[in-house]
Amino acid sequence: MVKNYLILLFLILTEIIFFWYEIYWPKNFQLTENELFLVQKGQSLFEIAENLEKERLIKNKFFFDFYVILKGKEKRLQAGEYFLSPSESIAGTAKKIISGDIAKIVVTIPEGFTIKQIEQRLGLELPGENLEGFLFPDTYEFPLGVSGEEIVKKMKDNFDKKLTPDLREEIERQKKTIFEIVTMASMIEKEVKTYEDKELVSGILWKRLKNNIPLQVDATLTYITGKKTTKISIEETQIDSPYNTYKYLGLPPGPICNPGIDSIKAAIYPKNSNYWYYLSIPEGKTIFSKTLEEHNAVKARYLK
């Protein structure tokens, strides 16, 4: 009797170990390269399992079916493209498809990128009007085959989220528009690096606007010319464009890039000072001047 009991116990343990091995042991540890696997909308558990076995991503379709049914998730398998590998276990593969962990591309849009630069990084066109300035720079995850419309929506939604109700309320209190703030922030983004410098430059530019003094922001000229250099020629300051802040008073017609939150906050909360001029030198430092004579002396020293 005891012997039969031990034999039965041994058989049960053997089955448990066997099932554990089949479900939690990968097909091949060495084949780590991901493959794209498509789960089509409306496919059943058994069709998915069969295709996984055909693609040699799992050892046995039966154990995939068994695991999913055991978890009660046979109706929760989600359509989409998945990065899968034979180095994953049946359990790991099933969890991905159950959770909808579809294949994604991860892309970082740096602060200060223009629409054109964003399109070049993504490799597609972004349709829509007045997008410049409102596609928030951040790291994004997009599904494979994402459309330009979907990208624009996600980036604009992120902008709306980052521009909190408190910030919007302050903009309204100052009797300014979001468009004006973003336009100012885009110039600040391109001109200086640190938040402290951004606050001071914001104060200078708003003060110049108030006193009908040309902003003379070099970055608006490079936006016109498309040049990457920060060096501006006398001829370029005469370009007939509404974006030329040397030639025309006021803000340019719109943002010249997509600014980050620090530049947006600096545009909303400028720092008052006695400065009227600033110069960003190649080392990244910004030198502020109170008079034109001081500013010209700084330019003579650093812009040789």
CB–CB of 251/209 below 8 Å?
yes
Helices 261-268 and 165-173 sit at what angle, rounded to 10 degrees? 30
Residue 92 binned pLDDT confidence (cut-offs 50, 70, 90): confident
Three-state DSSP state, 153: helix
Q: How far apart are the first and last CA of the chain?
A: 100
Tokens in use for 98?
A: 């159950």
- pLDDT at position 17 over 90: no
Please provide the average confidence, as pLDDT, over all residues in the chain.
89
Residue 233 binned pLDDT confidence (cut-offs 50, 70, 90): confident
Q: What is the mean pLDDT of residues 217-245?
A: 89
- pLDDT at position 197 over 80: yes
CB–CB of 183/252 below 8 Å?
yes
Tokens in use for 264?
A: 């947006």
CB–CB of 82/97 below 8 Å?
yes
Position 288 scores a pLDDT of 92
> Distances from the Cα of 136 to the Cαs of 26, 107, 110, 164, 214, in angstroms?
41, 13, 9, 13, 28
The residue among 152, 142, 63 whose CA lies nearest residue 108 is 142
Position 303 scores a pLDDT of 75
CB–CB of 244/224 below 8 Å?
yes
- pLDDT at position 8 over 70: no
Residue 272 binned pLDDT confidence (cut-offs 50, 70, 90): very high
| Least trusted range by pLDDT, from 61-75, 149-163, 252-266 | 61-75
Tokens in use for 18?
A: 């066997």
**DSSP letters spanning 123-145:** TS----SS-TT-S--SEEEEETT
Q: Domains in the chain and their CATH numbers?
A: 2-30+37-99 (3.30.1490), 104-162 (no CATH), 172-302 (no CATH)
- pLDDT at position 113 over 90: yes
Helices 178-191 and 218-225 sit at what angle, rounded to 10 degrees? 90
What burial letters (b/e) apply to 13-40, b meaning 16+ CB within 10 Å? eeeeeeeeebbeebbeeeeeeeeebebe
Q: What is the mean pLDDT of residues 62-83?
A: 90
Three-state DSSP state, 213: coil
Rounded to whole angstroms, how far apart are CA atoms 48 and 112?
44
More reliable by pLDDT, 30 or 289: 289
Residue found under tokens 């110069």: 279
